[in-house]
Amino acid sequence: IIVLPDTSEMLAQIKVHESLVNRVKPGMKATVKIDAAQGKTFEGKVDSIGIMAQQGGGWMGDNVREYEVKIALDLPPGSPALKPSMRCEAQIITESVADALSVPLTAIFNEGPRTVVYAVRGAKYEKVPVKEGRRSDLMAELTSGVRAGENVLLREPPPALVLSDA
């Protein structure tokens, strides 16, 4: 007897680090990119979250613990044929913000207890204290300190170009 997989319904099986798994809930929207399918991205929803963490290993080390999360893919008609065990990369949208002032994480610098950005002031830069709100893996919301449309640096400038230490 042989078992033939049913490829009309596909699940993406991913691993989520233990520090992030509490943010993931069944039914959350996700996008899954599959390189073997010409890099196409598919929409889906979180189907299930593993109960027990799996211990990592290999290059990530033995102390990494991850949870298995399954994402049910919404495959539109005419989608490329997917096969079991194809590698994928997934993004699960745990929260979205409609209207927020945000900057890339590389624009934020910590100086002890305070957080600053370097705002462009002509040919020089001003160190401006800011307050952070929510964060993603790439961006941070700023709740005070700078205004919309104000340019900030993505790296720390040489000390000679800093106007003042606010």
Q: Going residue by residue through the chain (166 aa), what tens digit of pLDDT does each one get?
A: 887 777 678 889 999 988 889 999 999 999 999 988 888 899 999 999 999 988 765 555 567 789 999 999 998 887 777 888 889 999 998 887 788 899 999 999 998 899 999 999 999 999 999 999 988 878 899 999 999 999 999 999 999 999 866 4
Amino acid identity at 79 = S
pLDDT at 119: 94
The tokens of 119 are what? 């705002």
Check: pTM over 0.75? Answer yes or no. no
CA distance 142 to 134: 8
Do you know the residue count of the chain?
166
No. of helices (H) and no. of strands (E), the chain:
0, 12
pLDDT at 71: 96
CA distance 49 to 40: 24
How large is the C-alpha radius of gyration of the chain? 22
- 3-state SS, residue 37: helix
**Cβ partners under 8 Å of residue 99, min gap 6:** none
